[in-house]
């Protein structure tokens, strides 16, 4: 079969991909029962399981992971002597945030200006459709799959609760493979085929500051009574220096990135930085995103502006995220963040830090045959050479898989280029990128099988 016939197969499948992505996006699969019913995740998991079974995969089942969520597993033996490829993605999504900021309903796939909008359209339900479309195209063009397949679709990746990592450690035989394709990243820019070579790790902590037995009238007591919210703000302000670089003792913030550059003007456009607003930190954009730690205040428990009373606050709480670059140990980073938070609480206030989990950074070996096959696939699908970039986000499962299967190659690809606005309002996917990435994955599976078995592609 020719590359053109595979490309034609992918193209013919795109209307189906859109219809099925709309079904999948309609499930409000936020893996937090405090925000959305558990049944929404259960419906998404069942949908994925049924879709995999329909493509001829066997052993399809829902795995009950220790964090109370479900991952979908499927497999299929390959031709004699063929390698085994594990495909990964996740069906859970981030909360929609402020619904009023969406230009169309968050859980209703909507086409606008050539893009498909909806929560999870890119991260990561678009990547599930990338996998499905690639597999369908191979069946349509070649009559079957050239490799052994395993598929794992996680149900709690966005919550970071580690259910699948724990399950994999308890069942190490389950996910063995020659190569793992992680469908949860994307191209450095639309139309530029990219593998993600590094990931930052992550740790989060909740800081609670208490100064009084209860709130007090700000007129009667303000000016002398210690305000917990004011104390918390001072702590949070101390996490960065005057340039915006991380200022946590024990954490280096001067590392450099040697790979593909990220021009500042491109970053400003991708991030939609307002005119006249300076970027945070020093060094190149790539240094700051991919080689250095980053601290973000994710949330603060404090009264909203509307409805606030004239009070000195007795307690205040914040959730802080620390992204960790490759080369930095997770435990060291956790201890440094916790020590900084406690040491900088002013006024002798009482303070408590709760660790909220975390994952180590990851760096891939890009020198193996799977990367050679992926490079050839991307060149064919996009007509331009593959590049490698870093990723500021975290996928803790990568380190689990590397620990369990040190000889397996791990490749990170996907449909989540910077224009998709994952985790933000108005998340979307470019159907042209979805089509090209599905073709890339199909070509990769064919190329990799040929490279490992010595048969023609």
- H or E element in which residue 332 lies: helix 330-343
CB 449, CB 178: distance < 8 Å = no
Catalytic residue among 40, 67, 157, 165: 157
| DSSP labels, 54-91 | HTT-EEEEEEE-TTS-EEEEEEE--STT--EEEEEEE-
Active site residue 92: yes
Which residue, among 448, 372, 380, 374, has the nearest Cα to 6 in the 3D structure?
A: 380
Rounded Cα gap, residues 374 and 448, in angstroms: 8
Half-sphere exposure (Cβ direction) of 13: Cα atoms closer than 13 Å = 28
Rounded Cα gap, residues 123 and 436, in angstroms: 17
DSSP 290: I
Helix, strand or coil, per DSSP, at residue 94: coil
Residue reference for tokens 């990435």: 437
CB 389, CB 260: distance < 8 Å = yes
- H or E element in which residue 312 lies: strand 311-312
Rounded Cα gap, residues 130 and 10, in angstroms: 10
Rounded Cα gap, residues 263 and 363, in angstroms: 23
179-183 and 409-413 beta bridge pairing: parallel
CB 83, CB 54: distance < 8 Å = no
Residues pairing with 103 in the sheet = none
Catalytic residue among 20, 55, 92, 435: 92
CB 130, CB 441: distance < 8 Å = yes
Active site residue 123: no
Rounded Cα gap, residues 356 and 396, in angstroms: 14
Rounded Cα gap, residues 428 and 120, in angstroms: 8
Structure tokens at 47: 């949908």
Tell me which residues are annotated as active site. Answer: 92, 157
């Amino acid at each position: 079969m020719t590359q053109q016939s595979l490309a034609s197969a992918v193209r013919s499948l795109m209307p189906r991909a859109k219809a099925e992505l709309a079904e999948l996006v309609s499930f409000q699969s936020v893996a937090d029962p405090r925000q959305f019913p558990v049944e929404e995740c259960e419906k998404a998991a069942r949908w994925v399981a049924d879709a995999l079974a329909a493509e001829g995969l066997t052993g399809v089942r829902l795995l009950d992971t220790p964090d109370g969520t479900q991952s979908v597993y499927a497999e299929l033996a390959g031709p004699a002597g063929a390698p085994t490829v594990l495909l990964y993605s996740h069906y859970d999504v981030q909360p929609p945030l402020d619904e009023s900021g969406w230009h169309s309903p968050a859980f209703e796939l909507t086409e606008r200006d050539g893009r498909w909008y909806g929560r999870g359209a890119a991260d990561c339900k678009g990547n599930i459709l990338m996998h499905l479309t690639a597999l369908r195209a191979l069946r349509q063009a070649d009559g079957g799959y050239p490799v052994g397949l395993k598929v794992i679709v996680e149900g709690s990746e966005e919550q970071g609760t580690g259910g699948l990592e724990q399950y994999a450690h308890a069942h190490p035989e389950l996910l063995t493979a020659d190569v793992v394709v992680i469908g949860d990243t994307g191209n450095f820019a639309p139309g530029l085929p990219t593998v993600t070579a590094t990931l930052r790790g992550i740790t989060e902590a909740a800081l609670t500051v208490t100064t009084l037995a209860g709130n007090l009238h700000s007129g009667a007591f303000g000016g002398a009574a210690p305000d917990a919210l004011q104390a918390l703000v001072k702590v949070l302000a101390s996490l960065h220096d005057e340039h915006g670089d991380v200022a946590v003792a024990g954490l280096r913030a001067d590392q450099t990135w040697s790979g593909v550059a990220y021009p500042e003007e491109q970053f400003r456009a991708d991030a939609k930085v307002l005119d006249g607003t300076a970027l945070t930190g020093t060094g190149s954009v790539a240094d700051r995103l991919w080689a250095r730690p980053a601290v973000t205040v994710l949330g603060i428990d404090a009264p909203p502006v509307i409805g606030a009373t004239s009070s000195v606050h007795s307690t205040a709480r914040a959730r802080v995220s620390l992204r960790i670059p490759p080369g930095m140990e997770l435990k060291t980073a956790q201890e440094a963040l916790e020590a900084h938070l406690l040491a900088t609480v002013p006024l002798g206030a009482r303070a408590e830090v709760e660790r909220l989990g975390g994952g180590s950074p990851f760096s891939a070996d890009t020198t193996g045959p799977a990367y050679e096959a992926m490079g050839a696939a991307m060149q064919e699908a996009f007509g331009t050479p593959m590049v490698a970039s870093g990723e500021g986000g975290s996928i803790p499962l990568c380190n689990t898989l590397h620990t369990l299967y040190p000889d397996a190659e791990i490749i990170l690809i996907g449909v989540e280029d910077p224009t998709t606005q994952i985790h933000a309002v108005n998340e979307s996917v470019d159907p042209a990128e979805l089509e090209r990435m599905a073709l890339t994955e199909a070509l990769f599976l064919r190329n990799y099988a040929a490279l490992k078995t010595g048969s023609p592609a």
